[in-house]
Amino acid sequence: MGGGKSKEAALSGQDELILKVTKEIMVKFIEIGRISTTNFVETFKMVNETVRQSLKT
């Protein structure tokens, strides 16, 4: 229960950046109606992996 920041502190700077970019893309997809609750998880995984791969190159 205590130490709510322990998981957040474990993220590297790059992982944090990946999550922020993924979040922003997902927000835009939600705003334009591109995704729904039924495909959110699948889309999040795809966007996250795409962002991760783009940072490697």
Number of other CB atoms surrounding residue 42 within 10 Å: 10
Residue-level pLDDT at 56: 84
What pTM did the predictor assign? Answer: 0.75
Average pLDDT, whole number, for the chain?
A: 87
Residue with tokens 């729904």: 36
Average the pLDDT over 24-53 and give the result: 94
Lowest mean pLDDT among 5-9, 30-34, 44-48, 50-54: 5-9
Q: Where are the alpha helices (DSSP H) in the chain?
A: 6-9, 13-31, 40-56
